[in-house]
Homo-oligomer: A and B are copies of this chain.
Amino acid sequence: MKFSKATDYALHALVYMIHRDGDTVKIPVQDLSVALNVSTTYLSKVLTRIVKANYITSTSGAKGGYRLQQNWENVSVYDIVVAIDGVQTLFEDSFDHGSECRIQAAMMEAQENLISTLKNKKLKDLTV
């Protein structure tokens, strides 16, 4: 019952990018790793997933780096969680009691609540 550190890193990296006008300027992972005090290799591995999910773009080579997509304001915290950890299930029932299992139903309901809370949190809300 925990989010990954990788998600934490990603969110902090994104917020840092936003503060540095990362939608118009490319920011190399080097800068981010200094700011967050996380190794460049690991952080770049994390950010690659955000690139794959299309919330940022990357350009290799000199003067390269990561840049926020134009629509970043609408990206939710949940989007980032999914980009990093995949679609997570908070609760996986070890038993197969079918759809009428009330334990499973209760946990699913809690899970849906959590997800909708995280969907309503946009990156923009993290920076204002």
Q: Which residues of A contact B (CB under 8 A)?
A: 1-5, 8-9, 11-12, 15, 36-37, 77, 81, 85, 88-95, 102-103, 106-107, 109-110, 113-114, 117-118, 121, 125-128
| Chain A binding surface, main DSSP class | helix
Cβ–Cβ < 8 Å partners of A121 in chain B: 106, 109-110
Whether A88 pairs with B8 at a CB distance below 8 angstroms is: no
Whether A12 pairs with B95 at a CB distance below 8 angstroms is: yes
Q: How far is the CA of A128 from the CA of B89 in the complex (A)?
A: 25
Q: Which of A77, A93, A94 has the most CB of B within 10 A?
A: A94
Q: How far is the CA of A110 from the CA of B110 in the complex (A)?
A: 11
Cβ–Cβ < 8 Å partners of A8 in chain B: 91-95, 103
Whether B91 pairs with A103 at a CB distance below 8 angstroms is: no
Given A1-B81, A94-B8: A102 in contact with B117 (beta carbons within 8 A)? no
Whether B106 pairs with A110 at a CB distance below 8 angstroms is: no
Given A95-B36, A106-B126, A126-B103: A4 in contact with B5 (beta carbons within 8 A)? no
